[in-house]
Structure 1
Amino acid sequence: MTQGRSIRLFLVDGTPNGLMTAEIMNWTGHVITGPRGKLSQLVQRPECSRTGIYFLIGPPTEGSSLPSVYIGESDDVATRLKQHNRPEDKGGKDFWERVCLVTSKDQNLTKAHVKHLESLLMQAAREAGQCRLLNGTAHEYGGLPESDRADMAFFMEQIRTVLPVLSFDFLRERPKPSASSTIVEPADISAQASPLFVAEVPRFGIKALGKEIEGEFYVLKGSLAKGSWTGKGGGYQNLYQQLCDNGVLIEAEKGLRCFSTDQAFSSPSAAAAVVSGRAANGREHWKTEATGQTYADWQDSVVMTTPSATDEGYTQ
């Protein structure tokens, strides 16, 4: 079983939209993030005078649903951030709206360490595919002893743990359920494992497969969807179009579209809407492949059969 983690968040100026620090128990790393409008306060902090890694994060550009990200390193992050804050025509970067800085509390990060980290993080961001990375090609940096490389691998995993807590998902590794050879049997429902769900629109020959993993609903690669959005405007129409533009929904036979990869959705209804090309109640539309039980009934059975803390004889 995966062990829980303790992350300490601190609102520097007492507001949720200001500077925020994050620390993980027994980790020497220190993370601070904030909006670009707070840069004057950020560069005055002692963390900014240390050697560290920083991320510049901007909103999605036209035609994309992914945030723009630049990953950098410096011996003096404050000076580098001031340079990035200049207008584009003066050597700065205009795209970013937030900044995230990672340093070490014991100040043992060296220039060699952060160059190695930068290379690893750029590679991880590209592999995750959750952002539009504005860096050039990542160069492998092999100038560290083996022990230091192991330390930096651990340091990086902590970065990948804490960033999603701060709402930065661009390094997050998403599951690939289609690549799994594990077949979920109906008996696994009692263990709260997700069965395989099916959504069908027989009139159009649409059949899609889905699975719930780590709180997100995945439509699996190869699933079919409506060839165009036919529902009312707004709602999930923009999401449908983004998936078409990003190459997730590609043209298939009989005027339909096909999922070119596993795609995560925030809810079964979002997934059902994209598959159907119109608004849909995902809790009723998705049904277990094995029994035909609706998602709503399956979820209810899982909740009702899970012991609570007040049940007699139950211990955590």
Structure 2
Amino acid sequence: MAEGKHISLFLIDGTFGGLVTAEILNWTGHVLKGSRSELSRICQREEAQRTGVYILLGADKAGNPLAYIGETDNIANRLRQHEKKKAFWNDVVFVTSKDGNLTSAHARYIEAQLIQRAKEIGRIPLENGNEPTGGADLPEADASDMHHFIKEFLTILPVLGVEVFRGRSAENNGPVASESQTDLPVFHLYIKKYDCTAYAQIIDGEFTVLKGSKIAPKTTQKKDVTEGTLKQFESRKRRREQLFNSGVIAADDEGLLVLTRDVQFTSPSDAAAFVRGRASANGRIEWKTEDGGTYADWENKER
């Protein structure tokens, strides 16, 4: 049975969407998230004067998610610099230490670990141009402490809506996930027309089509459909094109399309439509377990 985690959130303005802090019981870290429009208030806060690691969140010119990970001896000063030099970001989240024991070396170490993990997962591209240097030669005890610090920080981030680190890292990101990794089954969807199979698993609460899955090489849609269906089809087609252009989808020697990393979806049906290249699909019956049962069958057993 998984261990629970007590996370304390404080809405500074008393409303959703404003400044929010997050802490975990018996953890020395302190996390704050806010929007760029609140930068002046953020920079006036006491924790923003400390050493820490920050993540800028936004989108590129095409509207695709983009992030930047950095470290600094003074969060407020660095954010003011980014306000002038970086246009893409809309939100920031940063972590500091409540006891003031987070040093510059610690921050550089955390930054390096986070950048490495974000690139391994590949869910959201980083705007970082260079690999981080320094902070990798911490004493053994300090490195152990920082790994625990990072683990707790990564636990908090999805709660705040930060998805940069959600998903499997590259070392576990194989063609088919092991059921022992999540204790949940691997589903498959076979397309007879193209003799190809996609695989999926629920990872970190998201229905995820796995790296190595093969999907239909074309998107197809009947002409005699409703305007809503046509819009949905165009939306799915655009997502395919974006993933292809970013290298997440690649063509193989057989003319099929293969996923080069895991891709997350809102539902089994959303994923099935993507795999088949259609506007819609009933993923609850199209995704099958190893014994031939449907996703719906498995879900009913779990209730």
* TM-score, normalised by the number of residues in structure 1: 0.82
Shift of 1:255: 4.3
1:151 to 145, 148, 172: 145
SS in 2 for 1:108: coil
The answer on 1:211 being equivalent to 2:186 is no
Partner of 1:24: 24
State the shift of 1:282 in Å.
Answer: 0.6
Q: Unaligned regions of 5+ residues in structure 1, if any?
A: 87-91, 185-191, 304-316
8 A Cα contact 1:11 1:21, kept in partner: yes
State the 1:2 CA deviation.
2.3
Instruction: Say if 1:226 and 1:178 are closer, same or farther in 2 by CA, change over 3 A.
Output: closer
Partner of 1:176: 173
Unaligned runs of 5+ in 2: 222-229
Alignment of 1:1-316 (within 5 A): 1-62=1-62, 65=64, 67-86=65-84, 92-135=85-128, 136-142=130-136, 144-174=138-168, 176=173, 178=175, 180=177, 193-231=183-221, 232=230, 233-252=233-252, 255-278=255-278, 279-291=280-292, 293-303=293-303
| Counterpart contact for 1:236–1:270, Cα < 8 Å | no
Name the SS of the counterpart of 2:21 in structure 1.
Answer: strand
Contact 1:56 1:97 (C-alpha < 8 Å) held by counterparts: yes
What amino acid is aligned across from residue 299 of structure 1 in structure 2? E
Question: Post-superposition, which runs of at least 4 consecutive aligned residues in structure 1 deviate over 6 A?
Answer: none
Larger Rg: 1
Percent identity over the alignment is: 43
Q: CA RMSD in A?
A: 2.5
**Distance in 2 (alpha carbons) for counterparts of 1:271 and 1:155:** 34
Whether contact under 8 Å (1:244, 1:250) holds in the other structure is: yes
Q: What do residues 158-201 of structure 1 show as CA deviations (whole Å, max 9, x unaligned)?
A: 111111111112123426363655589xxxxxxx9543433233
Q: TM-score, normalised by structure 2?
A: 0.85
1:209 is aligned with what amino acid? Y
Deviation at 1:21, TM superposition (A): 0.4
Change (3 A) 1:31 1:271: same
What is the one-letter code of the residue matched to 1:94? A
Shift of 1:142: 4.2
User: How far has the Cα of 1:60 moved from its partner?
Assistant: 4.2
Q: Which amino acid aligns with 1:176?
A: N
CA distance in structure 2 between the partners assigned to 1:180 and 1:282 by the alignment: 19
Q: Which has the larger displacement, 232-241 or 6-15? A: 232-241
Q: Identify if the C-alpha distance between structure 1 residues 167 and 60 changes in structure 2 by more than 3 Å, giving closer, same or farther.
A: farther
CA distance in 1, matches of 2:78, 2:93: 13
**SS of residue in 2 equivalent to 1:107:** coil
Q: 1:53 to 1:210 in 2, by over 3 A?
A: closer
**Deviations along 1:23-46, whole A, 9 cap, x unmatched?**
011101100110000011111111
After superposition, the Cα gap between the structure-2 partners of 1:148 and 1:224, relative to the gap in structure 1 and judged at 3 Å, is closer
Residue 44 of structure 2 aligns to a residue whose secondary structure is coil
* In structure 2, distance between residues paired with 1:207 and 1:117: 38
- For 1:197, give the aligned amino acid: F
How many matched pairs? 288
